[in-house]
Amino acid sequence: GQQLNQSPQSMFIQEGEDVSMNCTSSSIFNTWLWYKQDPGEGPVLLIALYKAGELTSNGRLTAQFGITRKDSFLNISASIPSDVGIYFCAGQLYSGYALNFGKGTSLLVTP
């Protein structure tokens, strides 16, 4: 599969701070996805992006599909302790093709 580079690898922030993370690929994707994995659970889909340049929000989360189709960004505003977990980006070239995942960004939030 295609290699996705996700950064940062980990973040340690205080409650109330905003968070930004990104994902880049050497190849284009037609769908970009962001998942969150809580400790002891499987990943849960947060946001799906379908079009280059698209900006989509889900509560305090905002994600963008990069204009080159080779990157995506996730922002979390006003972080809270329950935001703790691992955030994965994933890209899909076409429906029916495998998802390619990044290695994840581990987020820790202190009260």
Partner 1 sequence: ETGVTQTPRHLVMGMTNKKSLKCEQHLGHNAMYWYKQSAKKPLELMFVYNFKEQTENNSVPSRFSPECPNSSHLFLHLHTLQPEDSALYLCASSQDLFRDSYEQYFGPGTRLTVT
- Residues forming contacts to partner 1 in the complex (CB under 8 A) are 1, 4, 31, 33, 40-45, 48, 88, 90, 92, 95-104
Q: How many CB atoms lie within 10 A of CB 100?
A: 18
- Is 77 or 84 the residue whose CB approaches partner 1 more closely? 84
Of 21, 19, 26, 33, give the one whose Cα is nearest residue 3: 26
Nearest distance from C-beta of residue 73 to partner 1, angstroms: 18
Nearest distance from C-beta of residue 29 to partner 1, angstroms: 10
- Is 96 or 111 the residue whose CB approaches partner 1 more closely? 96
Instruction: Give Cβ neighbours of residue 110 (< 8 Å, ≥ 6 apart).
Output: 12, 13, 14, 15, 81
33, 49 contact by CB (below 8 A)? yes
Nearest distance from C-beta of residue 5 to partner 1, angstroms: 10
- Is 44 or 78 the residue whose CB approaches partner 1 more closely? 44
